[in-house]
Chains A and B, each alone.
Chain A
Amino acid sequence: MRDLIVQWLTELTAPFWQSSLSIDQFVTALQETFHMVFFAMLFGGIWGFIQGIVLLVTRPEGILPNRAVYHILNPIVNALRSLPFIILLIAVIPLTKFLVGTSIGTWAAIVPLTIYIGPYMGRLIETSLLEVNEGIVESAQAMGATPLQIIFKFILPESRSSLILNLTTATISLIGATAMAGAVGAGGIGDLAISYGYQRFDTSVVILTVIVLLLLVQIVQTVGEWLAKLR
């Protein structure tokens, strides 16, 4: 399947694509980007939902107020959020080596990407959940709902649309971050832009990367907005 697509694309672009970069390499890079975005979104999403929900319910006016948890977790999230991604990428190398066994490659990049996007998504999710009208929570409590029921049957479904839009924003940030991950040999189309476009002065690669990233972001945003409107 992959070979067929590569072959077809190569033939299709042959008349105008003149570069040391082969279409095969390009498709590999695109796959690496998808791979990083997918797994970082998955792990970061799990992190984000847990963080967002915990911060929502433990806040002083939440449904299960807990000063200790809230006041410990909140500054940790802020600390992680304050690190620029490029620094985080290097700072977590020991952890990456411990978890993945190496600090180079796509899987290795997923560790810092997750640590980058997790707390960010957590904040976005928390904001979305906070938007749910207090009255909804009150009506749930009046029905005798348990805290878990309040979260899963009332707050999460009611914030669905806002959650999807915020997750869309997070995905787009993540696509940007994967480009930087190229700096530690993670591959992906960001890496192509740097190693072929910048370092080998191959402008056509830069243009191609920009166009592909642009399309990717447009598609993600459009799909996100469409999903948010569904009910």
Chain B
Amino acid sequence: MIEFKNISKHYQLKGQTIRALDQINLEIPAGSIFGIIGYSGAGKSTLIRLINLLERPNEGQVIINQKDFTALDARSLRQERANIGMIFQHFNLLQTKTVAANIEMPLKLLGVSKVEREKRLNELLEFIDLKHKKDAFPDELSGGQKQRVGIARALANHPKILLCDEATSALDPQTTKSVLALLKKINQEQNITIVMVTHEMDVIETVCDYVAVMEQGKVIETGSTLEIFSQPQHPTTKNFIQTVLQQQLPVNILKNLENQNHNSIYCLQFLGKSAQETVVQAVIKKFDISLNILFANMTEINGTVIGQMFIQLLGNPEIIQQAIEFLEQNGVKVEHSGDQV
């Protein structure tokens, strides 16, 4: 488990104190994939660098498996760092060394014998599926391949923790997907705790078990990914969720609405079981109203489906009221969105 206790970091810039991190308290459960999301300048990259102390806090402690990292001397810190893998947005591979030499680097630093290095190298090349690129140089690889090499290098010394600093931000969506799948596989097969910093909510949605949302050096919201997605509290969190799960009715749909009675628009929120059952169909059968589906989107987070549907209900107001109650009884959250649109 990784714990941040009362972490603060500030520095002086042109006579002003900049608070990069402000009173951070956070726990990252062992074996999980933990996402840290925030806009640029929120302090998330500084936060992830506290785990291997590439950045030092001015106040507070970083405790990993009951060990206070902030109290370690330079030598012990280096030993601990060797057990924490890290990958970067711009890969940071040695341009003058081959794929093989890059992957072997952490082992070479530790003085691992050539035979054992070779053995581990082959395992890793197999794992990242780049055996044929063993003797290639980084500039001969695609972005996704470079990140795979970065991942192999980070895993070389069998770390317990893998830090990912915007690891997919320089990759196209297709490559991002495959790199995320690889990270998920590492987490599941080798039980490695993964901490990832990102500004893309779909990265969180795809792989993270937990998420912390950061703004101006503070953690403004944290919880399981499902909790955050289904009940976001902070406006910034809502903005992030908006990027993958549209929470407002697209303007064009409103414009094209034949019946301009906006007051009849409702937003249904489905979560888990309610999303799988045929509640909407049941409503139409059961009540004598016309139901017009305007817009819907669904997503799956860790096996749970969450989604939203905008509908227009026309008919007798009393029956509409009954229909809404029916929906709510079936676990659907109903919001009258007529006013906000």
Contacts and interface: CB of A to CB of B under 8 A. Distances in A.
Given A144-B109, A153-B109, A135 B82 contact: no
A141 interface: yes
Given A141-B81, A142-B86, A143-B82, A133 B109 contact: no
B281 interface: no
Interface stretch (A113-121, A154-162, A179-187, A201-209): A154-162
Contact of A135 (B88, B106, B163): B88
B105 A143 contact: yes
Q: Is the interface of A mostly helix, strand, loop or mixed?
A: helix
Interface string B103-116: 00110111000000
Interface string B51-62: 010100000000
7 contacts: A133-B90, A133-B92, A138-B54, A139-B88, A142-B86, A149-B109, A153-B105
B95 interface: yes
A142 B154 CA distance: 9
A154 B106 CA distance: 11
B82 A139 contact: no
A181 B163 CA distance: 57
A144 B52 CA distance: 9
Nearest to B101: A157
Contacts of A149: 109
B81 A157 contact: no
A142 B54 contact: yes
A158 B81 contact: no
A133 B77 CA distance: 23
| Pairs of residues from A and B, 9 with the lowest C-beta to C-beta distance, nearest first | A144-B82, A144-B81, A135-B92, A139-B92, A142-B86, A144-B78, A143-B106, A157-B96, A145-B109
Given A145-B78, A160-B96, 15 more contacts: A133-B90, A136-B94, A138-B92, A139-B92, A142-B85, A142-B86, A143-B109, A144-B77, A144-B109, A145-B109, A146-B78, A153-B109, A154-B94, A157-B96, A158-B95
A175 B252 CA distance: 74
Nearest to B97: A157
A153 B80 CA distance: 20
Contacts of B108: 153
B39 interface: no
Contacts of A142: 52, 54, 81, 84-86, 163
A231 interface: yes
B79 interface: yes
B295 interface: no
A152 to B, nearest CB: 11
A145 to B, nearest CB: 5
Contacts of B157: 143
Nearest to A154: B94
Interface residues of B, number: 26
A165 B29 CA distance: 50
Contacts of B106: 143-144
A103 B237 CA distance: 76
Given A141-B81, A144-B78, A153-B109, A158 B54 contact: no
A158 B78 contact: no
Nearest to B86: A142
B81 A143 contact: yes
Contacts of B86: 139, 142
B90 A135 contact: yes
Contacts of B92: 133, 135-136, 138-139
B137 interface: yes
A167 B85 CA distance: 36
A117 to B, nearest CB: 26
A156 B246 CA distance: 50
A145 B163 CA distance: 17
Contacts of B52: 142
A65 to B, nearest CB: 13
A161 B30 CA distance: 43
Contacts of A154: 94
Interface string B159-185: 000010000000000000000000000
B72 to A, nearest CB: 12
A10 to B, nearest CB: 47
Contacts of A141: 54, 81
A231 B96 CA distance: 7
B103 to A, nearest CB: 12
Contacts of B85: 142
Contacts of A157: 94, 96-97
Contacts of B97: 157
Nearest to B96: A157
Contacts of B82: 143-144
Nearest to B106: A143
Pick the most buried of A135, A160, A161: most chain B CB atoms within 10 A of its CB: A135
Contacts of B78: 144-146
A154 B109 CA distance: 11
A145 B106 CA distance: 8
A133 B80 CA distance: 24
